[in-house]
Structure 1
Amino acid sequence: MRKRSVATLIAALLAGSTLTGAPNPRAEAAAPDGGGAPAATGSPRLPGVDLDTVTIPQLQARMADGSLTSSALTSAYLRRIKAVDPKIDAVLHTNPAAMRQAAASDARHRRGSTRGPLDGIPVLLKDNVNTRDMPTTAGSLALAGAPPDRDAALVTRLRKAGAVVLGKTNLSEWANFRAAKPTSGWSAVGGQTRNPYALHRNPCGSSSGSAAALAASLSQVAIGTETDGSIVCPAGMNGVVGHKPSLGVVSQAGVVPISAEQDTAGPMARNVIDTALTLAVLSEDDTARHAGLRGLQAEPTRPGGLHGKRIGLWRLPRLGAEVDALMTRTAKKLRRAGAEVVEVTPPYQKRLAELEFPALLSEFHRDINAYLATRQGPRNLAELIEFNRDHPAEQTCFAGQELFEQALAAPGTTDPEYRAMRAELTDLSRRSVDETMADHGLDAIAAPTNPPAWTTDCARGDNDVIPSSTPAAVAGYPSLSVPAGSVDKLPVGLLLMAGDHQDAELLALGAAVERRLDAWRPPRYLP
């Protein structure tokens, strides 16, 4: 398949060839207090704008004609955080400078000198992304002192594009790489983030707060990070869109690491168009931003087609009969839209499961030591382990730090045993995707992103057998989760994956799938 740049994708999306906008909900959300008003338009209100469904192109059109300001939009999101976030605990900090950033964007709009599609758009950042003006903790009290000296590279790009940095979101502490039995969405800094669809259910992790905040319409877009599943699983479980870019598309500089071989930040939103526009800013390809600016002059007018697309369905029945039935219904909808759906089973999954974790232990030890050396607090992994032993607040949900201890004892990344593991992982994961796509002539591989959200239980930990994210994550290939439907009122996503740096093709396909499935429903904050 010919690779397209993100710039080409954005121009195509915004010219109307693949997307008409966000899906149209068929149901209204209950207000978090049970009052029955739509969640994002109940209180506070932003006249003429439904925060649940509005897209960035629609917001920019309103800002261009003067009927909306970034200040009004940012204020509405800040009020909504104050009103709604106590129910879900997704937002750790709001940015005291957010309104000043919005006012500066308004001045640019008045002058006609906007910086692109994200100018004036509020963005939440996962709290493992360095910000010089707000704490960056990875959820740990060990990093709760002074902020980092400088922004992460991706934050620099967002600021340069005129985005309003609204605040920081909670996450699974240390991106779920501390304990053998962690509880996703819990951190010592932020407590437990809850799933807006059912408050006793888990939001998945580790980008828990980013996904839950989007589901609750607390920001227009958010940034997550992933090593394996940490963007796409929360996106699926909270009924939003999450894109894990190809490795290297988004700079990892200034992001708390697990593994340089797999880590990437990526965009999350309530629809594919906003996700793609955010990737255009995050991407190291500067031409993407300019293409997005040019394309904003044309509001999309018709949905993209699935006719002739070949999609391989990896069913994963181990996620349960109801999820499997949802995949059957999804395949029927895609076939009715003209897609060819064939069942596939990517090879080498057992071996990938055997090798990935040991390799990540070695890489984490190397990379976390390098990161801690740039921050105040523990200076290396050994000191971090001692910090956790000495601070009872780090043990209030779960006490274990078995992964830290195993990483401390793991072979170094110059060890021949480790190097052989990583070489085999890279080879088998890429072959898993490449061979499956080539053998069946596929445009993408699809699988369920997640099971229905499990109940949150600190004593038990997560109940997360979710293998669908692994092939793309280990290979460094792109993946994208879009809402597929619900099981017992709990969202389930459809995960799409493709070959190396085929992010543009995947987002274009995801936009068409999103329109056809029309599966997004706002949360109801069930008790």
Structure 2
Amino acid sequence: MKTIKHLATALLPIYLSLAATGLRAQGEYATTSQIRAALEQGSTSSELLVNRYRQQVQQLNAQLHAVIELSPSAMSEAQRLDKLRRDGQILGPLHGIPVLLKDNIDTSDGLPNTAGSILLKDNIPSHDAFLVEQLKKNGALILGKANLSEWANFRSTKSSSGWSGTGGQARNPYDLSRSPCGSSSGSAIAVAAGMVPLAVGTETDGSVTCPAAVNGIVGIKPTLGLISRSGIIPISAHQDTAGPMATTVTGAVLLLDAMTGKDDRDPDSFDNATKFADALQPQGLQGMRIGVVRNLMGYSPQTDAAFELALAVMREQGATIVDNANITTLPEIHELEFEMLAWDFKDALKDYLATATTKYKDLDSLIAANKENATAELPYFGQEIFEMAQASAGREEKEFAANAAQLKKLAGEQGIDATMAQHKVDLLIAPTVSPAWKIDHINGDHFTGSATTPAAVAGYPHITVPMGFVRHLPVGISFFASANQEDRLIRAAYNYEQSSRQRREPRFLSGDPALAVSGLK
């Protein structure tokens, strides 16, 4: 492990090269808005940006393990987009801005789509996922693939978030000894560490919002169907969605706008006429009634203390805080969710593998292959979830349809919707998750709780924004509401972000500085 002094030395040439692009000086991270302005002013180009971020990856990835592979076509695409810009053809607000994709999303650039498993190293898609088609249509530039918790953290009950057979153990840039959460670990780390300005993650329950929170960035889990799932290695047709990740609400919202669209390959996909960037209003909290979900708290007292400070900021911005707007159906949701996901996963994965360029066509063959490749694939934890799902009848389980419908009702109609109606609030809030825990390959993740489940199970939107720090570790605040209410969440999240200004750059520490000073490290 390099010392902080060595890391600082390694970063110096990066800062110098970034200053040369006109985007960053004195170590400041460039936001999406700053990059857009530099491109429009001609002080940088997409080609320079690709060079810049490739250098960032080369310098930092040995410590962070955030990126699995860079796209071989990124530079030629940058040159094409630069020419279009010179010719006056701007495809959208993200024209020429690099985006990293979680490595469970299909691309047609020759990169395998592995879900982090070495077993899928030959899964080389011939077509882009629909969301990738949308990104390209809107001018975004695909830089490469991000590391993830293998199989989107749905292989073992004792997994270590951020570990994959393909990418190794991803690490939190605020403290390299701590977890990046998952499963969109690499996407969050790469954005937080300045390896890319924007990234796409996917979430079934917490896989965008948890890594965003513990890595100090913004993550948006949209309403189910707002972003097509076709071309994404799945867990559940009832909960899966892709979502944008950025250092700012503005960047995440621009990325969200660039991914939406109706896709006939996804039965839940729908048209969306709204431009969510219109909701980036500096006084968005004014007049809002906001419900505090206290029964989504209590797993981290220090995080709860930071949350109370966030409430004060929102009051100052004109919001009315309604306390104890609790979701009473939480125990029933937790009781039913996991089993339903395991049943859904068995068939959803088989559907994806049926057309994939891999010899593995079902869970049974993957389970056997993991055992054959145990040194690479099973060095730290097993595949209990795979085996549980395989032992089931999948979606043919007699209770599957009823449980799926009941879960939606418990989380949506009887959960978030009922809570908002009872307390007459515009949205709900809670701390997103605890500070990052220590990476532990013996016992697995030390996860104490989060605010992610109600919105995930209901298929409703959820935004997490940096809320502050517990010592040196970032924590986030969650904004969530009923289906298709992204606009009001964006108004609130943007106003809070702009008035609180809680994000700061990572320091790449090798452990808790307080413990190091006390001699207890």
TM-score, length-scaled by structure 2: 0.90
- Cα deviation digits, residues 174-230 of structure 1 (max 9, x gap): 000001110000000100000000000000000000000000011110000000000
Structure 1 residue 122 corresponds to structure 2 residue 98: yes
Please name the residue that 1:231 is paired with. Answer: 208
Higher mean displacement: 363-372 or 415-424: 415-424
Aligned partner letter, 2:15:
T
Structure 1 residue 420 corresponds to structure 2 residue 402: yes
Higher mean displacement: 152-161 or 31-40: 31-40
1:514 is paired with a residue whose SS is helix
Please name the residue that 2:266 is paired with. Answer: none
Structure 1 residue 470 corresponds to structure 2 residue 447: no
- Cα deviation digits, residues 254-284 of structure 1 (max 9, x gap): 1000001100001111101111111111011
- In the TM superposition, what are the counterparts of 1:331-410 in structure 2 within 5 Å? 331-343=311-323, 344-375=325-356, 376-410=358-392
- In the TM superposition, what are the counterparts of 1:187-206 in structure 2 within 5 Å? 187-206=164-183
Higher mean displacement: 70-79 or 478-487: 70-79
- In the TM superposition, what are the counterparts of 1:167-178 in structure 2 within 5 Å? 167-178=144-155
Mapped contact 1:227–1:262 kept (Cα < 8 A): yes
1:233 and 1:511, CA in 2 relative to 1: closer, same or farther beyond 3 A? same
Aligned partner letter, 2:349:
I
Separation in structure 2 between the aligned mates of residue 131 and residue 462 of structure 1, nearest angstrom = 30
Separation in structure 2 between the aligned mates of residue 509 and residue 75 of structure 1, nearest angstrom = 36
Aligned partner letter, 1:68:
T
- Cα deviation digits, residues 38-83 of structure 1 (max 9, x gap): 8973555444212854333432333223222111122111111111
Aligned partner letter, 1:307:
Q
Q: What stretches of structure 2 of length at least 5 have no aligned partner?
A: 263-269, 511-521
Residue correspondences, number = 492
Please name the residue that 2:514 is paired with. Answer: none
Aligned partner letter, 1:309:
M
1:41 is paired with a residue whose SS is helix
Mapped contact 2:276–2:487 kept (Cα < 8 A): no
Structure 1 residue 102 corresponds to structure 2 residue 81: no
TM-score, length-scaled by structure 1: 0.89
Please name the residue that 2:475 is paired with. Answer: 492
Please name the residue that 1:22 is paired with. Answer: none
- In the TM superposition, what are the counterparts of 1:61-140 in structure 2 within 5 Å? 61-133=37-109, 134-140=111-117
Mapped contact 2:69–2:146 kept (Cα < 8 A): yes
1:475 and 1:381, CA in 2 relative to 1: closer, same or farther beyond 3 A? same
Aligned partner letter, 1:150:
H
- In the TM superposition, what are the counterparts of 1:10-25 in structure 2 within 5 Å? none
Higher mean displacement: 103-112 or 33-42: 33-42
Indicate the percent of aligned positions where both proteins have the same amino acid: 41
Aligned partner letter, 1:449:
T
RCO greater where, 1 or 2, for CA within 8 Å and sep 6 or more?
Answer: 1
Please name the residue that 1:481 is paired with. Answer: 464
- Cα deviation digits, residues 413-439 of structure 1 (max 9, x gap): 243311221111011100210011111
Aligned partner letter, 1:342:
V
1:304 and 1:32, CA in 2 relative to 1: closer, same or farther beyond 3 A? farther
Separation in structure 1 between the aligned mates of residue 5 and residue 291 of structure 2, nearest angstrom = 39
Please name the residue that 2:495 is paired with. Answer: 512
Mapped contact 2:114–2:123 kept (Cα < 8 A): no
Mapped contact 1:124–1:222 kept (Cα < 8 A): yes
Mapped contact 2:431–2:450 kept (Cα < 8 A): no
**How far is 1:233 from its partner?**
0.1
Higher mean displacement: 326-335 or 39-48: 39-48
**How far is 1:167 from its partner?**
0.6
> Which of 264, 282, 285 matches 1:306?
285
